[in-house]
Amino acid sequence: MTVNKFKFLGEWPAESRAAVEPSLAGLEWLVPGWCETVWIAWASVPRDNLEAEASATTSIEYPYRWAKIVVRPGFLDESVERRRSALIHELLHVFIGPLAEYAEQMADRLMKDDAPKFHETVREELRVRHESAVQDLAYAILGRERSAVAIDPAARRHACHPWSEAVRP
């Protein structure tokens, strides 16, 4: 029996939900064992708002066994292919998140006060490697879903900051 771990949270415009639901279809297998629920929330920030730049972002609450993906209006401007790619990317953050978060917290604890220059460099390097690992896996999965995947340089614009907005549902 497959347990549905995706749960829609809060108010959703019908148009937005109709765009997100098919993009998530069949991706349950990507939810790691530790995560009981992936909340899917809609944030209707204005499209010219800087925070709206990423079409979706993810936060995790590892000790409480849930994650949250916040989808923004920019998602609706994406092609069907890019929507799928963006949600696979976000789900992979749930996989890699506990490890990445640990490394980030260690850098904070060990360097933030005593070695701020090292801290800044290490945090930036961790961010880049975290995003790169997630995107490499996303491409590998998309490659299996479709025989030919266009690796779009614009995908680099999908810059998300998954740990900056942990808000409990």
Minimum distance from CB of 116 to Zn ion (Å)?
25
**In the complex, what is the shortest distance from the CB of residue 114 to Zn ion, in angstroms, rounded to a whole number?**
29
SS3 for 94? Answer: helix
149: three-class secondary structure by DSSP: coil
* Residue whose beta carbon is closest to Zn ion: 160
Which DSSP helix (H) or strand (E) runs through 60?
A: strand 56-61
> In angstroms, rounded to a whole number, what is the distance separating the alpha carbons of residues 27 and 20?
12
Closest approach, Cβ 50 to Zn ion, in A, equals 16
The residue assigned the tokens 């696979």 is 88
Give the range of 59-67, 97-105, 110-118, 152-160 binding Zn ion by CB under 5 A.
152-160
Task: Indicate which single residue of 60, 87, 160, 163 sits in contact with Zn ion (rule: CB under 5 A).
Answer: 160
Least Å from the CB of residue 167 to Zn ion: 17
Is residue 162 classed as helix, strand or coil in its secondary structure?
coil
Site for Zn ion in 77-136 (CB under 5 A): 131
Which one of the spans 26-34, 73-81, 98-106, 154-162 is the region binding Zn ion (CB under 5 A)? 154-162
Q: How far is the CB of 54 from Zn ion (least distance, A)?
A: 8
- Using CB under 5 A as the binding criterion, the count of chain residues that bind Zn ion stands at 2
Residues in Cβ contact with 75 at an 8 Å cutoff, skipping those fewer than 6 apart: 16, 19, 20, 55, 56, 83, 86
What is the phi/psi pair of residue 148, to 5°?
-120, 120
Interface residues with Zn ion (CB under 5 A)?
131, 160
